[in-house]
Structure 1
Amino acid sequence: MAFLLGECLLLDRLKEKGVTQAEFSRRMKCSRAYVTQLIYGDSKMSLEFAINAAHFLECRVTDLYVLEWSSDRNE
């Protein structure tokens, strides 16, 4: 049994904090294109990036993605 990363909730967290994607990318020292890739599921955050994003957005790392339960660890 394992959790899988589902939908990225970064855009929701940004809206809650009133932070634009441009401001977030500047503060996180990454490109705006990368932030867009995260939001649309084209890329997944590294653990290091997720920890720093959660710190900046004052949320938990687990608040950045929908966590999906899987009974098959190999999925």
Structure 2
Amino acid sequence: MDYRLGACLLLERLEENKMNQADFARVMGVSRQFVNKLITGERKMSLEFAFNAAYRLNCRITDLYVLEVVRKQVE
């Protein structure tokens, strides 16, 4: 069984931490526009970014995205 990244849950994690996109962007050293692209699904987080985001948001990396199960076809 494999997984792929589904919807980004960053906005939910920000709300839980009472943080807005601009504040999070400042803490992460990126633009608010970049954070918005993550939230809307236009961009995906790198593993390094996700690790640092999870640390700063006090969550697990797997809490940042919906993980969708992808079943491999048996040949």
Normalising by the residue count of structure 1, what TM-score does the alignment of the two structures yield? 0.94
Task: Spell out the pairing of 1:1-75 with structure 2 (5 A cutoff).
Answer: 1-72=1-72
Q: Distance in 2 between the 1:24 and 1:13 partners? A: 11
Gaps of 5+ in 1: none
Among all aligned residue pairs of Structure 1 and Structure 2, give the percentage whose two residues are the same amino acid.
56
Q: Distance in 2 between the 1:72 and 1:65 partners? A: 21
State the shift of 1:72 in Å: 2.7
Q: Distance in 1 between the 2:67 and 2:15 partners? A: 20
What one-letter code is carried by the residue in structure 1 that aligns with 2:30? C
Return the index of the structure with the highest Cα Rg.
Answer: 2
Q: Distance in 1 between the 2:16 and 2:58 partners? A: 10
SS of 2:26's partner is helix
State the shift of 1:4 in Å: 0.3
Normalising by the residue count of structure 2, what TM-score does the alignment of the two structures yield? 0.94
- RMSD of the TM alignment (CA)? 1.0
Q: Distance in 2 between the 1:33 and 1:72 partners? A: 35
